Amino acid sequence: MLLHIKNLKINYKSDNRPVEVVRGIDLDIDKGECVGLIGESGCGKTTAGLGITKLIPERKGNISAGEILFEGRDVLKLTSEELRCIRGKKISYVFQEPFSSLNPVFTIYEQMRESLEEKDNPDSRIAEILKSVGLEKIIDRKNIYPHELSGGMQQRAMIGMAIAPRPNLLVLDEPTTALDVTVQRQILDLIMELKNKMSLAILFISHDLRIVFNIADKVAIMYAGKIIECGPKEKIVSSPAHPYTIGLIDSIPSLKHRKKLFNAIGGRAPLFSELPEGCKFYPRCRFRIDKCSEKEPELKDVSGGQASRCIRTISAELRSATPIKWNY
Amino acid sequence: MYQNNQRGAALRYSNKMELLIIDNLRKGFKKHKVRAVDDVSFSVFKGEVLGLVGESGCGKSTLAKLVLRLLGADKGSIFYKGKDLFNISHNDMRKTRKDLQIIFQDPYASLDPRMKIGKVIEEVYDIYKNVSENNRKSKTIELLETVGLGETYLNRLPSELSGGERQRVGIARALATDPEFIICDEPVSSLDISVQAQILNLLIELQKRKNLTYLFISHDLGVIGSICDRVMVMQSGKLIESGSCENVFKNPQHQYTKTLLESALLR
Ligand SMILES: Nc1ncnc2c1ncn2[C@@H]1O[C@H](COP(=O)(O)OP(=O)(O)OP(=O)(O)O)[C@@H](O)[C@H]1O
Ligand SMILES: Nc1ncnc2c1ncn2[C@@H]1O[C@H](COP(=O)(O)OP(=O)(O)OP(=O)(O)O)[C@@H](O)[C@H]1O
Ligand code: SF4
Ligand SMILES: [Mg+2]
Ligand SMILES: [Mg+2]
């Protein structure tokens, strides 16, 4: 096991009160495996990803419990010196907003060179990387700065910098949001190729089910700070067990619906300051029964590696007998 | 010549409701020898939702920045409500700035990292004086709630928000001036489907209720198809195709549009 996370909890200090936004998650990633982490905006995906290398600034929050083993070493016990050797080298990140992590005063070329694992003869390696992320246009433009690139080009430059040091684990946080489908395809293909060629392990964070279903081997779905369903992709696609996952799948848009956008789940994710009792999905769940609001369900095995945090068994019959309240 | 254009534009606004007229607009970045916007002409009619799609780096954001005068053009003209934006009195420009808002593509780059969320929005009232002293706080909370955030966000800094939450603050800020015309540059790209649906439905509802006009930039054809009346396709700085969504989606003329549609449907 390359990465093993057990019962990870992370707090933020918001208005000086601690708010727990990662409320105990377990996650395993093997060498050469791609795990997709999905969930609604604000549910804690980015925070969980940052937690892996203790990237939460101390004055903002802290990891309050849990265990993180990377290549067998306990990350939470490493010195800051040891952590620095892992971050950006063995574990590298593509952050959600590219502009926030590109340095505006250095050229793309300089930043690229900085992230290479071996410094001699950088030009040919940089050219190779730029080409693989579809930025061959800027290979000969060593004097180009981040603000001179479009949003999507910045995103690709970030991906290039993350793969440059040949990491073992790549954390991609919404890496293709600003890209049109043709470039998205190209980037996903590139990530797949790297995964296979370098047995790179990937944590792929996204809100877009379609993309995750395209690329991941295993999928974990997060809701209000916890994983509510996880398992092999094929299982989740063909027989989702948790009502929230079912809602996400039912919401995938298509060109067939004109002038409408569907939200098959309905309602909104709860704020962390106002989480309901019992099952956190209760207020929005179309399969809820009274018992659901008593206590928060445990993550229970369904079958063949798939697990779900729901007290009911949502069979295909029950699913088709319970109407969706289309909310648009 | 100039007089004619100005008068023509004023007539086109009053007779045909051409709210925004873009005429032969060009912008190059000399250092890198790219022509990001290459002789582009089009009109946006009052009350319509006009989509703009095109591959990454084709010039969509540059076009948006030119319209807002965040960048200077090399050539061409822009008329808003019949007024030449390159030749406009200070006072008129102020009014135009209030009417004409943008939701930026990269929320992180467009929010001041030291400014609390409540302030980000209230700053707008300071500039445009469109909200009375008593209503400031309640209006701010209402705006935050419409984008799915609440009062608890007032005192937070941008860095204390998730990516999608920052994007929603950008939307709330754009709505704070009660604009007539909003340029939305990938406004929902980092939001999940349920929040996307909420926000797009909010934008559609506002558009219908207040007869707003949108120029909607997106790479997601599903989103474009579900909210736009017309769509334009851009490639390498040029507009290569435009028409009603139905026509363009059913009957794409240009190879790039076809590829875009094919890869969208493949998923
Ligand atoms: N520094 C902070 N202080 C207080 N709260 C924070 C801080 N950073 C994030 N949060 C809150 O923690 C929650 C989780 O944030 P996170 O960035 O992990 O979400 P996410 O799942 O990545 O969402 P998105 O898809 O919108 O990026 C959000 O509700 C956010 O408001
Ligand atoms: N300030 C600048 N200086 C130099 N070149 C620039 C500048 N801003 C943009 N460009 C270049 O202009 C072209 C168009 O960029 P623009 O940001 O308009 O693209 P876009 O269509 O919005 O792409 P995306 O979908 O990736 O956001 C790109 O080649 C970009 O590198
Ligand atoms: S436990 Fe009950 S409320 Fe929660 S997801 Fe399952 S059925 Fe719905
Ligand atoms: Mg995030
Ligand atoms: Mg752009």
> Domain of A290?
223-321
| Residue A326 domain-assigned (yes or no) | no
B198: in domain: no
Out of A216, A247, A272, a domain closes at A216
Rounded to whole angstroms, the Cα distance separating A195 from A207 reads: 21
- CATH number of the domain enclosing A189: 3.40.50.300
Phi/psi for A88 (5° steps) reads: 75, -5
In a domain, A317, yes or no: yes
A208 shares a domain with A70 = yes
Q: What is the pLDDT of residue A121?
A: 83
Q: What is the pLDDT confidence band of residue B155, given thresholds at 50, 70 and 90?
A: very high
Comparing CB atoms, the residue among A14, A252, A262 nearest residue B156 is A14
Q: Is the pLDDT at A202 greater than 70, yes or no? A: yes
Check residue A271 and give its pLDDT: 87
In this prediction, residue A231 carries a pLDDT of 97
pLDDT at residue B3, as a whole number: 56
Does residue B58 contact residue A154 with C-beta atoms inside 8 Å?
A: no
**Predicted confidence (pLDDT) per residue in A128-147, tens digit:** 999 988 899 898 889 999 99
pLDDT band at A6 (very low <50, low <70, confident <90, very high): very high
Q: Tell me, yes or no, whether A212 and A264 share the same domain.
A: no
Length of chain A: 328
Tell me the C-alpha distance between A302 and B261, whole Å: 38
Q: Which domain-ending residue is among A161, A195, A216? A: A216
Question: Is B236 among the domain residues?
Answer: no
Q: Is residue B22 part of a domain?
A: no
Top mutation candidate among B29, B37, B66, B224 for ligand 2, by most atoms within 8 Å of CB: B29
Q: Is the pLDDT of residue B154 over 90?
A: yes
Which CATH number goes with the domain that contains B173? 1.20.1580.10
- Could you give the number of structural domains in chain A? 2
Please check whether residue A263 lies inside any domain of the structure.
yes
Q: Strand B18-29 vs strand B75-80: parallel, antiparallel, or unpaired? A: antiparallel
A203 and A232 fall within a common domain: no
Q: Tell me the residue range of the domain where B151 lies.
A: 113-178
Q: Is the CB of B32 under 6 A from ligand 2?
A: yes
- Is residue A196 located within the same domain as residue A72? yes
Answer yes or no: do A170 and A127 share one domain. Answer: yes
Q: Are residues A211 and A231 in the same domain?
A: no
Last residue of a domain, one of A216, A233, A261: A216
Number of domains in chain B: 1
Residues A96 and A238 in one domain: no
Q: Tell me, yes or no, whether B200 lies in a domain.
A: no
One domain, residues A110 and A247 = no
Asked if residues A65 and A6 have their Cβ atoms less than 8 Å apart, the reply is no
Taking the CA of residue A243 as reference, the ligand 3 atom at the shortest distance is 5
pLDDT value of residue A327: 47
Distances (CA, A) of A294 to A276, A280, A297: 10, 11, 9
Instruction: Classify residue A328: in a domain, yes or no.
Output: no
Both A53 and A145 in a single domain?
yes
Which residues in chain A are closer than 8 Å to B147, comparing Cβ atoms?
none
User: Average of pLDDT values for B170-191?
Assistant: 90
Say if residues A268 and B198 touch (Cβ distance below 8 Å): yes
B212 part of a folded domain: no
The closest ligand to the CA of A143 turns out to be 2
Terminal-residue alpha carbon distance, chain A: 43
Report the alpha-carbon distance of residue A14 to residue A176 in Å, rounded: 30
The DSSP code for B217 is E
B131 inside domain? yes
Q: Which amino acid is at B168?
A: R
Nearest chain B alpha carbon to A56: B160
Q: pLDDT at position A328, please?
A: 39
Whether residue A327 lies inside any domain: the answer is no
* pTM metric for this prediction: 0.88
Same domain for A84 and A230, yes or no, is: no
Compute the distance from residue B149 Cα to the ligand 1 centre, in Å: 12
Do both A209 and A227 map to the same domain?
no
My answer on whether A250 and A175 are in the same domain is no
* Region at A121 (left for phi over 0; alpha for psi -120 to 50; beta for the rest): left
The shortest CB-CB distance from B194 to any of A40, A60, A260 is to: A40
Which residue from B205, B238, B198 is spatially nearest to A41, judged by alpha carbons?
Answer: B198
